[in-house]
Structure 1
Amino acid sequence: MTRPPETPYAEVIGDPIAQSKSPKIHGFWLEKLGIEAAYRACHVTPDALTDYLAERREDPLWRGCNVTMPHKQAVMPLLDRIDSPADAIGAVNTVLPSGKGVLAGTNTDAAGFLEPLAKDLAEAHYFRMARIIGTGGAARAIISALAGHGFTLVVAGRDPAKACALLDELAPGGEHYAIDLAHFSDPTDFAFDDREGCLDLIVNASSLGMAGQPPLPLDWSHAPPRAIAYDIVTAPLVTPLLETARAGGHRTIDGLSMLIGQAATAFERFFGEAPPREHDAELRALLTQ
């Protein structure tokens, strides 16, 4: 998309970037609110990241950018300031101009992830547990967010040492566990106790189940009957994990929930107005065409 002259704009950067749904989300909200601005996708390779930021520092029309793979951590030393909660998470997904030539990094992934769980988190539970699959940038935000809401965490990855290091960094002092991803693939005969009054999550924070990737190897005998399946993958929207969860009677949350939630926080920072969330159903229909 070509930016009209003298039009404020924001963008999303990554490598690759063609698959990003962010331009549709922000473009939808801009149109609904009648804001004269643009939002586009910009392909930025790792080698070009420094030059990209240097150019944007000098552009008075640039309102900031969302940051996706593989830049969420690589961008941090290139910024002038890291704001909360990105400093605690150790990953940036939003860069904003802050004064003349100053770039600040923040993170809206954690807030976006928690948004569809707001009603659950407002309730009292005598135990909360989350089994999180993945150790990348998105997992960092999710681990940090759930640790702050009293969850016992089980983080699974292909490299359990990396999962352990993430827990030591992001959720120190808690009773948490790091395991090999393969642990969840085989059936278990573990007898879950009565889970009334508990909040259990199964979270796929990896690319497993994404189009072109193998499905997440998880046997549902590892989850109690009332566990919620939450998959951050957006293509396909109904992943194999969510399909098997629904077949087993579990409540599910798809990747658009987090994507729209984190975009809403960023949109307000970019354009100075809250997005019109009353149109979420229409937006979801647009994104799944």
Structure 2
Amino acid sequence: MSRPYAEVIGDPIAQSKSPAIHGYWIGRLGLDAEYRACHVTGAGLADYLAARREDPDWRGCNVTMPHKQAVIPYLDRLDPLARKIGAVNTIIRESDGTLSGYNTDAGGFLEPLRPLLAQSHLFRMARVIGTGGAARAIVTALAAENVVIVLAGRNPDKARGLLEELDPGGEHHSVDLALFGEPTDFSFDDREGCFDLIVNASALGMAGQPPLSFDLSHAPPGSIVYDIVTHPLETDLLRRAREAGFRTLDGLNMLIGQAAEAFIRFFGEAPPRDDGDARLRGILGA
């Protein structure tokens, strides 16, 4: 007897933690459902979606690198947020067989920051590293929270273009990533009442990728340092930031947060997060 299922697609896909996350929640809720991982290449994307469109048991999929923008032409509908971001990380098969694209990365990223963002601040600034699909979601999310963004990339012109596309009225800045790798003697003003955030929204520092060169002299006092990399979970950036006394947020925050939004769309129930994700984090860290 068939049963409903969702899955995650990407190239590569073996490293994905999504099956462990969704599988844990399915088990906790006792759902008769399944969540899988499926290796899909760029060349196989069209055939994959065409086949799944015809499968009534398929609830949809999460989309990981490098397909978050490539899937868009094959979808029937884009959620307004996904359209604005220009990237899709969740596809839902509607009851009539049409495919809708969503982006849950933005909400997942903001989730651990929401208590702070609910407060009033004199000024909000984020230094964000990266210009890929995840950075697009993060820039969009932060701009909507009235955060001034300094976006760093290996190509500053690409960073500038991304800022102008995603928040054309914002007073943001683009810089060469190399700038953050060199120490600065800049004297930060009084940060009382300010919200300061450092975000690695790139794959730099991930296992198998080049290291991220970021000198912590660029982090204002009281900054939160947030790295979306999940392998390793404690990146060099987070370790150095913690040792320097900064508050840190690891990549599981965004990963679990975005998965929770997708889970509701796949299976129609909220995932069990009553312990603050402690048991799930234990499984993912094992």
TM-score normalized by the length of structure 1: 0.98
1:183 to 2:168 alignment: no
Runs of 4+ in 1 over 6 A off after TM superposition: none
| Cα offset, 1:285, TM superposition | 0.2
- CA distance in structure 2 between the aligned counterparts of 1:99 and 1:130, rounded to whole angstroms: 41
Q: Measure, in 1, the Cα distance between the counterparts of 2:67 and 2:30.
A: 31
Distance in 1 between the 2:96 and 2:200 partners?
Answer: 40
- In structure 1, the residue matched to 2:103 is 107
CA positional deviation for 1:223: 1.1
User: What RMSD, in angstroms, separates the aligned Cα atoms of the two structures?
Assistant: 0.7
The Cα of 1:99 is off from its aligned counterpart by 3.4
Q: CA deviation digits over 1:23-65, x for unaligned, max 9?
A: 0000000000000000000000000000000000100000000
Gaps of 5+ in 1: none
One-letter code aligned to 1:285: G
Q: Which residue of 1 aligns with 2:121?
A: 125
1:216 aligns with 2:244: no
Q: Deviations over 1:70-114 (max 9, x none)?
A: 000000011011112101111000000123221000100000000
Structure 2, unaligned runs of 5 or more: none
From 38, 55, 60, the counterpart of 1:59: 55
Take 2:167 and 2:138, find their aligned partners in 1: how far apart are those partners?
A: 11
Point out the more displaced range, 148-157 or 207-216. Answer: 207-216
User: CA separation in 1, counterparts of 2:60 and 2:128?
Assistant: 30
Is the CA contact 1:57–1:103 (under 8 Å) kept in the aligned structure 2?
A: yes
TM-score, reference length from structure 2 = 0.99
After superposition, the C-alpha distances for 1:204-231 in whole angstroms (9 at most, x for unaligned) are 0001110122221111111111010000
Which of 143, 161, 171 does residue 139 from structure 2 map onto?
Answer: 143
For residues 203 and 51 of structure 1, what CA distance do their matches in structure 2 show? 36
Q: Is the 8 A contact 1:201 1:229 kept in 2?
A: yes
Deviation at 1:242, TM superposition (A): 0.1
Aligned mate of 2:83, from 82, 87, 93: 87
Output the CA distance in 2 between the equivalents of 1:104 and 1:120: 32
Where 1:50 maps in the other structure, the secondary structure is: helix
Paired position in structure 1 for 2:198: 202
- How many pairs does the alignment contain? 285
Separation (CA, whole Å) in 1 of partners of 2:237 and 2:258: 22
| Distance in 1 of aligned mates of 2:234 and 2:208 | 14
SS in structure 2 opposite 1:145? helix
Separation in structure 1 between the aligned mates of residue 94 and residue 68 of structure 2, nearest angstrom: 19
Which SS does the other structure have where 1:120 is aligned? helix
